[in-house]
Structure 1
Amino acid sequence: MKKLQELYKGDKPREKLLAKGPATLKAYELMAVLLGSGVPGKDVLQLSKEIVGLFDASFESLTLDDLTSIHGMGEAKAAQILAAVELSRRYLIKQHVKITSAADVYELLREYGAKKQEYFIALALDGASHLIEKRVVSIGTLNQSLVHPREVFADAVADRAAGIIVAHNHPGGQLAPSREDAAVTRRLREAGILLGIELLDHVILTKEGFLSLREEGML
């Protein structure tokens, strides 16, 4: 691969995008446009190729630490990439996504099963079970004070959602619901009845699989 300064002007990623459109660029060229510049010792094309290689290996679980492990990559550029990835993901997952089972929830949120901290996520759905929005409500050990109905339902009310599905991961790998899981589920179900937004399911995620509290008769 040629270095950036060795390319003809028309072959440079930004100029190529402007002249021919983004679909004509390779993945590392798109990354180069996003980054804008390289780092000491690496031009933007070299850096971009390393980042795209990392995407190929661990895109679903990509973290800030993964990106900053690349020599020369600072937190500012890493944060820029993560923001672009998350923005793209949020728009893509809302296109024609229909949630009809706990298995659908797991496919959508599979990445959280491998997280080392507990993430509590709420999915807002319309009357036809299409996804309106996915939101991380809290990060940390699940308890009733951390996962308050106000935090879970506030955005769902604004979305005019017909129902919500909540999910959280168990970093330890155990799928069995805890007493706290059951208590949070009851509290959210009761709040949903008052608000007219049904709690459709509460799904526990791990690296190896999932468990539906509805299917377990706990909802």
Structure 2
Amino acid sequence: MKTLKAMAEHERPREKLIQRGTQTLSDQELLAIILGKGTRQHDVLWLARKVVQNIDKKGLNLTIDDLISIEGIGPAKAMLITAAFEFVRRRIKPTGLKISRPSDALPLIQHYGDRAQEHFLCISLNGANEVMQVRVVTIGLVNQSHVHPREVFSDVISERASAIIMAHNHPSGRVEPSREDTEVTQRIKVAGDLLGIELLDHIVFTQDKYYSFAEHDLL
């Protein structure tokens, strides 16, 4: 990705936000605006990318120590980020959102559509199909060696969830499922049936498109 200095002015995060609105910015660009500036060694977009990579792994549970361990993030920036996390936790919670159709889940996941790697996500639901939690299970190719039922269901079981929706992005921009996507779906469905946890859907998505296994009667 280009450095901030190499970008045309209209491509820079702040200018994009002013001209086109917050929804047009990637997670990395939004965080770059929060951080404000970089360091002598790294520009703010590089720092934002590193922080986003860590958020993808640990979610909003990153501690100040976790953030300080990232090169270029000192105590001041770490406190700024954790304060923003806490504000989000208090004000914007996905819990209680009812999923009635695949499109209802898209606002919870589609910001992963711009990732360069595949992110495999799991949405836990209660008996009323209300969202309990959204988490990244794995990062990398979606296949049977990377996506194991143990990783998918470990937190789901502890939450006493009744059902799940799986989702992952396709960096290629195409949403048609691969053979590996179908194999993983069937494996997770079989494991869920044994555990009494229903797999409601597997959604393959990009920033502006999606494919639902449920809508295509593949579950």
Bin the TM-score by the shorter chain: 0.5 to 0.7
Map of 1:66 onto structure 2: 32
1:153 aligns with 2:119: no
Name the amino acid aligned to 1:204: V
Q: Percent identity?
A: 39
Q: Which runs of 5+ in 1 are unaligned?
A: 1-50
Displacement after TM superposition at 1:70 (Å): 1.9
Map of 1:176 onto structure 2: 176
Q: In the aligned structure 2, how far is the partner of 1:160 from the partner of 1:55?
A: 40
Displacement after TM superposition at 1:98 (Å): 1.2
Work out which of the two has the higher radius of gyration on C-alpha atoms and give 1 or 2: 1
Residues 157/79 of structure 1: CA separation in 2 closer, same or farther (3 Å cut): same
Q: In the aligned structure 1, how far is the partner of 2:38 from the partner of 2:191?
A: 49
Cα deviation code 1:79-116 (max 9, x no counterpart): 54444444554562334311111101112212011222
Map of 1:123 onto structure 2: 123
Q: In the aligned structure 2, how far is the partner of 1:143 from the partner of 1:80?
A: 37
Q: In the aligned structure 2, how far is the partner of 1:140 from the partner of 1:165?
A: 19
1:215 aligns with 2:181: no
Query: Contact (CA 8 Å) 1:55, 1:62: kept in 2 or not?
Result: no
Cα deviation code 1:32-53 (max 9, x no counterpart): xxxxxxxxxxxxxxxxxxx998
Q: How many residues align?
A: 169
Q: In the aligned structure 1, how far is the partner of 2:180 from the partner of 2:81?
A: 32
Query: Contact (CA 8 Å) 2:108, 2:134: kept in 1 or not?
Result: no
Map of 1:32 onto structure 2: none
Residues 197/207 of structure 1: CA separation in 2 closer, same or farther (3 Å cut): same
Name the amino acid aligned to 1:70: K
Name the amino acid aligned to 2:32: D
Name the amino acid aligned to 1:106: L
Map of 1:108 onto structure 2: 108
Name the amino acid aligned to 1:75: I
Q: In the aligned structure 2, how far is the partner of 1:137 from the partner of 1:101?
A: 22
Say what the alpha-carbon RMSD is for the aligned residues: 2.8
Map of 1:75 onto structure 2: 73
Name the amino acid aligned to 1:137: V
Specify the SS of the correspondent of 1:106.
Answer: helix
Residues 85/151 of structure 1: CA separation in 2 closer, same or farther (3 Å cut): farther
Displacement after TM superposition at 1:54 (Å): 8.7
Residues 196/209 of structure 1: CA separation in 2 closer, same or farther (3 Å cut): same
Name the amino acid aligned to 2:134: K
Q: In the aligned structure 1, how far is the partner of 2:132 from the partner of 2:182?
A: 26
Name the amino acid aligned to 1:132: M
Q: Which runs of 5+ in 2 are unaligned?
A: 1-12, 45-71
Name the amino acid aligned to 1:134: V
Cα deviation code 1:160-219 (max 9, x no counterpart): 101000100001100100001000000000000000000110001101211101111221
The TM-score with structure 1 as length reference comes to: 0.67
Query: Contact (CA 8 Å) 2:144, 2:180: kept in 1 or not?
Result: yes
Map of 1:199 onto structure 2: 199
Name the amino acid aligned to 2:168: H
